Structure 1
């Protein structure tokens, strides 16, 4: 679903678009699965602001799925990618880049041993194991795929090492 410029509010159209997902998440077939809700922005504005805005968009979708469809909160991970993963890279200010995407989080058992080894060698994985200081990035701003070897999502396959900033 897409968002208006500089907004994290769900539009009526976005709420309609979320209905099939909400109904599917209520069903038995998906009841054991977790999902990553990834928020994105266009390239307008400062990267730090865009990270917060993208996280607010992901949280808005997550809250809607929890409140309207009764999805268990622990099944939905919210993450803000900011402007770093445009849907339309040729047009960084395009409205197509202001969106939220939802991806299945696959259990570790689905990962090959080669991929697990590659994951463990990324700096983001090791940094995620260290406790965050009070002034460090919040856990919600860390790449959720790098937190542990338990999960992997379908949003570009490998963890992204992200700089830690205080915004």
Structure 2
């Protein structure tokens, strides 16, 4: 899906103890450790399952649609096929009903060994982007500016930073 150089989400220290979500170009696809500053004024977010669920719900409120969840098991092997389809359908249902707590409960109890490691979302304009667990954004011939703007709002709404 990546014809545009990757963009990396980063958290910048505002100097008052709070952080702001930002994005930087990452054409060489450097890893988080290479992008982070030694003084901790810039670091890469690590997105876990709970964060993905909360972000998906907040992005859905802004007209974005989740095209795909990428799952791994506890050994970080891909979870695909019928099992992934079933978990995806249940998550979509719970999130579209506004039941974020229910989605988190479902993942922690019924799908307890399945973790979200990436999502593919489409903007209202139909452009698609993949957001990975280390904050990398890749897309097809499109600038992710609309997604980044929505992520900033979603990030502060769900209080991840």
TM-score by length of 1: 0.29
Structure having the higher helix fraction is: 1
**Greater relative contact order (CA < 8 Å, ≥ 6 in sequence):** 2
Structure having the higher strand fraction is: 2
